[in-house]
Structure 1
Amino acid sequence: MGKIVCLITEDFADFEITLVFHKIKNIGKREVLSAGYTYEAVKSESGLNYKPDLTVSEALKLDDIEALIIPGGPIRCQQSELTELILKLDGQKKLIAAICNGPQYLGRAGILNDHSFTTSCSVEAIQKLGVENPFPRENYIDQRVVKDRNIITAKGRAFVDFSFEIFDYLDIYQGQYEEQEQLFKDIMNK
C-alpha cells in the first residue's frame, strides 16, 4: 500500500475531506500526507491552519503514491509541478479524486478531456470570475459523484458519497463496503 497525498492550498475546503482521511488512516491503515506548494502553513476555508508534510515538488519524486485527493476551494492559478504530479499519477493509473472546485486542476492538466467528471463550479461562476474555463463541459455529468476509471470527482455537497466512492476504490473496508456505507447512512438519518 502506498501513500495517500492531499493537496492543501489557501482557503481549501477542509470539511470535504475530513471523513475520507479519517477512515483511510484509521480503517485503511494508509499513510496520509498533506502537500502544499511550499512548507508555509495555509489557512483552510474553516479558518484552521494546516502545515504541509511535503511540497508538491517532493511528492513528484515519490514512487509509492497510491492516490492524490484534491479538496475544493477557490478557482485559482495552477503551478506546473501540480500539473506534472497529476499527469504522472494518471499515467500510472493511480487514483486521483477531486471534489467541488478541485477538478479545476485535473481540467487544466488535460485529464478531464478523456474522463467524465462533475464539479460544483458552474459556467456562470467561471464567467463572473473572468477566467479561462478549465472544464471541458462536453464531459461534464450533472451527478453528485462521477467515477471514470481512476478518476473520481464530486460536487462539494456530496462529500460523504465522495468518501465512500474512494473507500470502495481503495478497498478500505476489504469487501464490506456496502455494509459500512449503509451503517453510516443509517447513523446520519437518525
Structure 2
Amino acid sequence: MKALFLLYEGFADFEINILGIQLRRQYEIVTTAAEPCDFVTGVSGLRFAPHVQLADVSVDDYDLLIIPGGDPADLIGKDHLKRLVVEFRRQDKWIAAICGGPVLLADAGVLGDAKFRVDEEPDNELVKDLFNWDNQVEEDVVITPGFITGVGSAYVEFAVAVAQQLGVIDEERAKGQLEFFKNGSVS
C-alpha cells in the first residue's frame, strides 16, 4: 500500500512526522510537492525533496492522501490540487488533513456535509466562504467516511487516529503510542 504526502512551502512538517512513523509499518511513504520543485522547506527550516512530481502522480497508485497543515493561502484556487483531492474522493480513498490542510478539501468542494476540524476561523476572509461552518466539530480529531481531520496541536492524536483507522495499529498499540509520544513512556 502507498500513502501520498502532499508537501508545500512552509508546511508544518512536525504535524506529519509521527504519522509517517506509524504508516511505515504497512505503507510505502511517497512525497510530492504542490508545485514543481526540487525541494520544499517545512516550517522547521528543514528541506524535503519530493519523491515524485505532482504531474507524475496517478491516484490509482495510492491508497491514502495526507495533507499537512501550515499556511494554505497560496494553495487555494489551484486547479491541479483540486483535481488531486477530487480524484482521491472519486476513488473513495482516505484523505487525512491536519491544521490548515482541510482548507484544500473545502476548496476542492469534497467535504459536502461531512463533519471536520480545521485550524481556521469563520471570520478569516480567505476561507470563510469555503466551509459549511456548521459542520466544524470542536474535537481534536474528527473521523468521518473518507476523511480524517484534526487540529495541528493534536498531531500525536491525529497520527494515532489515522494509523488506527487504517488498521495499521490496534487499540492497545494506539494507547501505547499516545503514551510514548505524549509522555515519553510506555505503560
Q: Same fold by TM (over 0.5)?
A: yes
- Aligned equivalent of 1:163, options 159, 176, 182: 159
Shift of 1:56: 2.1
Give the corresponding residue for 2:177.
184
Aligned positions of 1:1-190 closer than 5 A: 1=1, 3-25=2-24, 27-28=25-26, 30-36=27-33, 37-59=35-57, 61-76=58-73, 77-78=75-76, 79-124=78-123, 126-127=124-125, 131-133=126-128, 134-173=130-169, 177-187=170-180, 188-189=182-183, 190=185
Amino acid at match of 1:67: L
Distance 1:132 1:20 in 2: 26
Q: Deviations over 1:100-158 (max 9, x none)?
A: 0110000001112231100111224x14xxx2423221211111011111100000011
Over the residues paired in the alignment, what is the CA RMSD in angstroms?
Answer: 1.5
Amino acid at match of 1:75: P
Distance 2:115 2:59 in 1: 27
Amino acid at match of 1:64: D
Distance 1:180 1:11 in 2: 32
Change (3 A) 1:113 1:151: same
Contact 1:16/1:159 (CA < 8 Å) preserved in 2? Answer: yes
Shift of 1:75: 3.0
TM-score of the pair, normalised by structure 1:
0.88
> What runs of 5+ residues in structure 1 fail to find an aligned partner?
none
Shift of 1:41: 1.1
Shift of 1:63: 1.3
TM-score of the pair, normalised by structure 2:
0.89
Amino acid at match of 1:49: R
Distance 2:127 2:28 in 1: 36
Contact 1:39/1:53 (CA < 8 Å) preserved in 2? Answer: no
Distance 2:101 2:178 in 1: 25
Change (3 A) 1:158 1:132: closer
Contact 2:66/2:95 (CA < 8 Å) preserved in 1? Answer: yes
How many residues were matched structurally? 179
Amino acid at match of 2:147: I
